[in-house]
Structure 1
Amino acid sequence: MSGSLWMPPGARPDTLPAIPHRRDRPSWARPDPIDELAARLDDFIAAAVHPDEIAALLESDGLSDDQIRERYGVKNSFALAEELYERVERRYPEPDGPVDGPWRTGLLGCLLRGVVFALPGFGYVLGAPLLAGPHDDFSLPAGTVPLLAGALVGWTWNQGLAHRAYSWLGLGDRGAARRALLLGAPVGALLAALVALAVAGAAHPAAVAFAAGQSVYLGAATALLVMGRERALLAALLPMTVGAVVSLVHSVPDAARLTLLLGSLTVVVVLGQREVAPRKGRGELRDKPRGTRSRSTTTGPHLSASLPYALFGLATGVLVLHTALGDILTGEQRSAPAAVALTLSMGPAEWLLYRFRSGSLAGLRSSSTPRAFRRTTVLTVVECLSAYLVTLLALSLATSALWPHSSGFDGIRLAGLLLLGVVLWTALLLQSFGAVGSAGVICCAAALAQTVAVLTHTGNPHWVALIVHGTAAVAQAALVCALSGRVTAHR
């Protein structure tokens, strides 16, 4: 009959043809190497959200594409990862350890670092009368140019130095980190002091001396911060801070100002030198776990790896300085609250960065699809960035209300400050993703554009800052959203 299904004799109408089964591999055949690898990595593959996560593991094990083609007969690590991902059933077991994993950190420690970042600003308040004099050729207060030049060189150098020391610490070689700081901090201080002297021009010698002291402090403070001695640095800065606060409401003799500045600087330098000085006897050996010496000496961090971090330090330093210079160049004196608020916010910014990384790790463990993971990480970025902006806004309003003779923020300046906060926090997040080059390029372009606008007297500095910060913030936010959904960015 036309359209009827032919069946073999004896078959019933309600019986479907049997589906042929795949032949089992003969016992004498060589085992499939991909099946063996899947069995060995079963737990990891079963919990993977995306094949790229498996590819990252394969690459971290040192498998090259040539080895993969020879052993497993596939093109590269990504093809092998996709094959493994298909062969192992998805399982998402609950983690044995805490969800935050290695990104758990205390809020108090981060807040302490924010305070330590802000306290050196009181040194400029205490030393301002020592730098009194006529404005220079750039219409800036006396001594501003050597101070700014020394600060920028110091920030650039010490950002790169800190990265190198942290790299040694990551390799477990605390002794090498100490040696890097012991050599690098004095070199950076000398370089910054020489640059300040070179651009001093007709500035008073006191300004050059202040810039040299600033350079020495930056080097010693970097050593203490890298080695985790925030509390010691805070204790060293407290007398100078108290003197600066008193000077805001009462007259303080110049001799007392100088004594407080030199006293705090001396204590910081002594503490920093003691922290990085070579350990005698067996102390140096205790800095290095067993088996670390040979590994770190052969695969130590390259100097070139610290260059992007140094450029990032220069760019962010220029952007922050423009926040203060915008007020000075327009004849206003309201920059101190903004600078203090931005510096204090770096503590909460660091804590929220840790919270994002721990949140993304939790999302990686709980998400079952790449789309779900991307959605989770983007929401976490929005939450953490919003929390940081609320914190920065609160600090800005509080410092403006408490600062003497402050007239508060207008809408343009406040918007520019918040956008700069977006730039700084997303740049730190990109650094944690390993995209420091991208963050450095965007921040350097923003810093260059704002500097050119100031030097050429193009537009109002506050409007220029709003446009530049907004453009950089949008570019970095888009890059963060693109990278945050990639599993391999969260390794």
Structure 2
Amino acid sequence: MSGSLWLKPPKEGAALPAIPRPRREEAPKTPDAKEVPDTDLAPDPLDELAGRIDGFVAAAVHPDEVAALLESDGMTDDHIRLTYGRADSFALAEDLYARVERRHPAPQAPPAGPRFDGLAHCLLRGLVFALPGLAYVLAAPLLAGEQGRYGLPGGTVPLLAGAFTGWVWNQALSHRAYTWLGLGDRPAAARALLTGALPGALAGTGVALAVAAPGETPAAVFAAGQALYLAAATVLLVLGRERALLGALVPLAGALPAFRWDLPGSLRIGLLLASLTAAVVLAALVLRPGLRRAAAGRGGPPRAASLPYGLFGLGSGLLVLHAGVGATPVGGAGAVVALTLSMGPAEWLLHRFRGESLTRLRTLTTARAFRRAVTGTLVLCLGGYLTVLVSLALAVTLAWPGAPWPTLPRLLALLLVGTALWLGLLLQAFGAVLGAATVCLLAAAAQTALPAAGPVAAGGAAAALAVLTCVLLVRPTAHRV
């Protein structure tokens, strides 16, 4: 904070600060009464404090916001009792809130430019999230082999092991790089990606090779390429190069004819290598700022703070994977594609929720009105996301040759998973990632242990995350930036 509210406690032997006393009501003056100066009243330190933080208190919609400010500045209850004569920070905050008139600044004007720029950007991200799935279509004949383990097709275990490792590592790495970007240090963010991307690719490759059984070598090699692509895509997405990544994925469009015709193996391998090479080269080019010496001068945020984000990536990835289990292969893949494509609109709706909440914070004058407005915005944004998800699921069904029409139970299960994912992303955006990660991991573990309980586990996760969201995000203090 620019100006500290903390007043140092008096040194030993110094006089205690004067505790404000109530002012006496003045007796009616008579004509013969003489004017006597009032030297008995001490100045009220609460007036001075109210003047110092007038702007913040005037914009607050609840005394708890003021109490949070006082506590964050280091004011203890003992100091408050000695200096201001109030029991604790909450009592002091209530007095300050009552003294200062509400003055909320007018909402900022929307930025100039096309209204749907943000939506187009998020849709682009959703597209680059989904297009890598075409790589599996191209590689499917190359990976076909003997029956795999656990009732899965051959090569599935090393592919999943490498993918999960990449999700955890790259989610944590993304958080660390985004933290540097939030501090305004783009070279440091590039350096974090430079030092973290390659170890992540090596970790995914190592895990895939370690779990590969005899006869699954092609799948392990593909998993190595998958790990390298995930590292490169993380770099490009974090540094805002979605269009470059989309260009790198263009060769995968060669998978579209593979839905109907058999392509030569050399062509399949050539398209996969062309896309992977383009992504890696583009990532290397944008990481050049990370080589500057100035980027290495600071220690940066603690690495442990990024771990919950990696765990959330694991939990949400498992939920998406389980959404495709239990149906026909084509129907299950369609659900996964719909969830992946929906991540673009999901991001846009998260931004909309944040923007609407900040607007309500500036315009509403009571905590009750703010809670009602935020709850209504939450319901509208979540309902909008689920509508988009169902529309995408139906569109994928129509576009995919031979895809079965989704039944009502399958749609319901998809909606529950979508609810859990969107609410988890919302909590993650507001810093409550540990709770979201715990709920998603527990639900994924329950689905893994007992696949028949999939809808129940997804429903429980959605309900738990809804409760967490309502408890945390209806508070005005959660939206202060």
TM-score, normalised on structure 1?
0.85
Relative to structure 2, which stretch is displaced further, 231-240 or 135-144? 135-144
Whether contact under 8 Å (2:194, 2:290) holds in the other structure is no
> Partner of 1:406 in structure 2?
403
Q: Distance in 1 between matches of 2:274 and 2:26?
A: 82
Q: Distance in 2 between matches of 1:221 and 1:468?
A: 31
Relative to structure 2, which stretch is displaced further, 229-238 or 316-325? 316-325
Instruction: Determine if the alignment matches structure 1 residue 426 to structure 2 residue 423.
Output: yes
How far is the alpha carbon of 1:92 from its aligned partner?
3.2
Q: Distance in 2 between matches of 1:183 and 1:123?
A: 27
**1:29/1:350 Cα in 2 relative to 1: closer, same or farther (>3 Å)?**
same
**1:67/1:259 Cα in 2 relative to 1: closer, same or farther (>3 Å)?**
farther
> Partner of 2:10 in structure 1?
none
> Partner of 2:379 in structure 1?
382
How far is the alpha carbon of 1:483 from its aligned partner?
1.5
Whether contact under 8 Å (2:350, 2:426) holds in the other structure is yes
> Partner of 1:344 in structure 2?
341
Whether contact under 8 Å (1:123, 1:261) holds in the other structure is yes
**1:75/1:167 Cα in 2 relative to 1: closer, same or farther (>3 Å)?**
farther
> Partner of 1:155 in structure 2?
167
**1:63/1:243 Cα in 2 relative to 1: closer, same or farther (>3 Å)?**
farther
- Alignment match of 1:112 (pick from 102, 111, 124): 124
- Calculate the aligned-residue CA RMSD, in Å: 2.6
> Partner of 1:200 in structure 2?
212
How far is the alpha carbon of 1:164 from its aligned partner?
0.7
TM-score, normalised on structure 2?
0.87
Q: One-letter code of the match for 2:464?
A: A
Whether contact under 8 Å (2:249, 2:275) holds in the other structure is yes
How far is the alpha carbon of 1:133 from its aligned partner?
1.2
Instruction: Determine if the alignment matches structure 1 residue 83 to structure 2 residue 95.
Output: yes
- Alignment match of 1:453 (pick from 450, 453, 458): 450
Q: Distance in 2 between matches of 1:468 and 1:397?
A: 24
Q: Distance in 2 between matches of 1:223 and 1:348?
A: 21
Please give the residue correspondences for 1:245-264 in structure 2 after superposition, counting only pairs within 5 Å.
Answer: 245-264=256-275
**1:227/1:30 Cα in 2 relative to 1: closer, same or farther (>3 Å)?**
farther
- Alignment match of 2:235 (pick from 220, 223, 233): 223
Q: Distance in 1 between matches of 2:280 and 2:274?
A: 10
> Partner of 1:167 in structure 2?
179
Whether contact under 8 Å (1:378, 1:481) holds in the other structure is yes
CA-to-partner distance for each residue in 1:282-302, whole Å, 9 max, x for gaps?
A: x776xx8xxxx98xx36x311
> Partner of 1:314 in structure 2?
314
Relative to structure 2, which stretch is displaced further, 84-93 or 20-29? 20-29
- Alignment match of 1:360 (pick from 357, 363, 376): 357
CA-to-partner distance for each residue in 1:211-252, whole Å, 9 max, x for gaps?
A: 000001001100111101100000100111x11112112221
Q: Distance in 2 between matches of 1:475 and 1:73?
A: 42
How far is the alpha carbon of 1:372 from its aligned partner?
0.9
Whether contact under 8 Å (1:105, 1:354) holds in the other structure is no
> Partner of 1:16 in structure 2?
none
> Partner of 1:210 in structure 2?
222
CA-to-partner distance for each residue in 1:94-129, whole Å, 9 max, x for gaps?
A: 2455499xxx97111011000010011111011111
Q: Distance in 2 between matches of 1:216 and 1:409?
A: 34
Whether contact under 8 Å (1:64, 1:77) holds in the other structure is yes
**1:64/1:141 Cα in 2 relative to 1: closer, same or farther (>3 Å)?**
same
Whether contact under 8 Å (2:60, 2:102) holds in the other structure is yes
Q: Distance in 2 between matches of 1:447 and 1:171?
A: 34
SS of aligned partner of 2:145: coil
Q: One-letter code of the match for 2:56?
A: F
> Partner of 1:489 in structure 2?
478
Q: Distance in 2 between matches of 1:112 and 1:192?
A: 26
CA-to-partner distance for each residue in 1:159-205, whole Å, 9 max, x for gaps?
A: 11100111111111212211111111111111111111111112431
Relative to structure 2, which stretch is displaced further, 43-52 or 310-319? 43-52
> Which structure is higher in RCO with an 8 Å CA cutoff and minimum separation 6?
1
> Partner of 2:49 in structure 1?
37
Matched residue count = 447
Relative to structure 2, which stretch is displaced further, 157-166 or 135-144? 135-144
> Partner of 1:372 in structure 2?
369
Q: Distance in 1 between matches of 2:37 and 2:75?
A: 27
**1:353/1:248 Cα in 2 relative to 1: closer, same or farther (>3 Å)?**
same
Question: Which runs of structure 1 show a deviation greater than 6 angstroms over 4 or more consecutive aligned residues?
Answer: 22-25
